[in-house]
Chain A
Amino acid sequence: MPVRLKINGKDISADVDTRTTLLDLLRERLQLTGSKKGCDHGQCGACTVLVNGRRINSCLSLAVVHDGEEITTIEGLANGEQLHPMQAAFVEHDGFQCGYCTPGQICSAVACVKEGHAKSDDEIREWMSGNLCRCGAYPNIVDAIKDAVAKNA
């Protein structure tokens, strides 16, 4: 089935099997391997991307459903060589160890702040609970998000 998407500002058309998830389209067909496949069942958040500005789990969403929509992945956050403030905050605060959950964490964090759900440590923990980190970098992730909020990310 044909599907047309705007991914990180670029118009893309592809012909996909109806079974293809948005995550598999990104990773396997478009070589946008920043979004990660952790569980493939909505349980970890590693596949988090923004669709029309809202964060979703791309592993539980079919590509064909998103025809005509705007997708932002971790690859689309930076402005050329300049990191997105949330990316910079994660680097500055060591918001990761192995880095596997990080693209999902950062996409989720960008949305979390935009939604207005990052006003306290507790609120950040609750509203970032859809992103698991097996390395347990949680304290630094919270610090990074707080800092990004303070710097008006």
Chain B
Amino acid sequence: MNPFSYTRAVDPQQATSVIGSNASAKILAGGTNLIDLMKMGVERPTQLVDINRLPLTQIEELPNGGGVRIGGLARNSDVAEHPLIVQRYPVLSQALLAGASPQLRNLATTGGNLLQRTRCYYFYDPAFPQCNKRQPGSGCGALNGFNRIHAILGQSEQCIATNPSDMNVALAALDAVVQVQGAKGARSIPIGDFHRLPGDTPNIDTNLQADELITAVDLPAIPFATRSHYLKIRDRASYAFALVSVAAVLDLQNGKINGARIALGGVAHKPWRAQKAEAALQGQTADEKTFRAAAEAELAAAKGYKHNSFKIELAKRAIVRALSTAAAMA
């Protein structure tokens, strides 16, 4: 690990002014991704700003019956078990509990989870010379390398890495809004605009600016989100990243689909909102044939590589199963 100075932030303003004025300073939350990447030599901040004592841990109802606010520092374990989340947004609780381990979830925060970096082997280990995300212009080691865990949707020739988060997939399906505070003030970023596709700049994961701190994530009121399900498919039963995952929220009325919100994990550089599948479901009868047609519509544009083409059929089947499970809920 490279040497760094340590600052314990006393308020959000101080944290944003430090990261805004020192380009090589980083926010430290749970540390479960940042410290790991610093040990690997992938991240080399010269200053860490510890935000663990800031009062950003709330999980509370928004005024005017308008959903729930989750503080940027709320721990993944606390969010997953909070009654407001368990009752109103079960898909988010399930996604969080499907991620990492109990110990890690006790450290991991909402903000840190949003910003966790890809698990692409070529990114994670600087011994590999090629990675456009780590070293712009060096090439993509995964493109012609071992690419079993890589993207099938929205990727570019520059980068086929995936976003590894489970939480982000649920947030995408729930139309969450990320609240951030920067040197010039606060702004709101809809989850769909928060993470980026790789394009020609895979080194930039998100649209968060260098001086911005994530203060909260807002979940809009979605009465039918009580009918939601998170399905995660991985190489072992627990404590492994998703190969493919699906967050499904269904608005059913007398067996007909009044609306659906679907997001996929493990398939793209960002949590992938499955709008084509959602459109195909609109107004249809909730049965397996409809679900399969929606899955086909979404994955029509998918492109596999040497080791990950299995994800295309896997994603289709996962969509069908997640929707079937949501539809069968009482």
Q: Smallest CB–CB gap between A20 and chain B, Å? A: 10
B238 adjacent to chain A (CB < 8 Å):
yes
Interface size class of B (residues with CB under 8 A): 20 to 34
Contact with B along A114-132 (1 / 0, CB 8 A): 0101000000011101111
User: Across the interface, do B103 and A57 meet the contact criterion of CB distance under 8 Å?
Assistant: yes
Evaluate whether A117 and B102 lie within 8 angstroms (CB atoms) in the complex, with A41-B36, A56-B107 already known: yes
Query: Dominant SS at the A interface?
Result: mixed
B21 contacts the other chain (CB 8 A): no
Q: Are A60 and B107 neighbours in the complex by a CB distance under 8 Å?
A: yes
Which residues from B are CB-within-8-Å of A131? 101
- Of B1-9, B265-273, B286-294, the stretch lying at the interface with chain A is B1-9
Q: Is the CB of A115 within 8 A of B36?
A: no
Residue of A55, A111, A112 with most chain B CB atoms under a 10 A cut-off = A55
Shortest distance from the beta carbon of A94 to any chain B beta carbon, whole Å? 23
Quick check: is B239 within 8 A (CB to CB) of the other chain? yes
**Nearest neighbor of A20 in chain B, beta-carbon distance:** B1
User: Total A-B residue pairs with C-beta atoms closer than 8 Å?
Assistant: 82
The answer to the question of B109 belonging to the interface, with a C-beta cut-off of 8 Å to chain A, is no
Contacts A18-B5, A65-B28; is A40 near B39 (CB within 8 Å)? yes
Residues of A within 8 A of B6 (CB): 1, 18, 62, 64
Pairs across A and B, CB under 8 Å, 25 listed: A18-B5, A21-B35, A41-B39, A42-B101, A45-B103, A48-B103, A55-B106, A56-B103, A57-B101, A57-B103, A60-B31, A60-B32, A60-B104, A60-B107, A61-B30, A61-B31, A62-B31, A65-B50, A65-B52, A108-B102, A108-B103, A112-B102, A126-B238, A127-B102, A130-B102
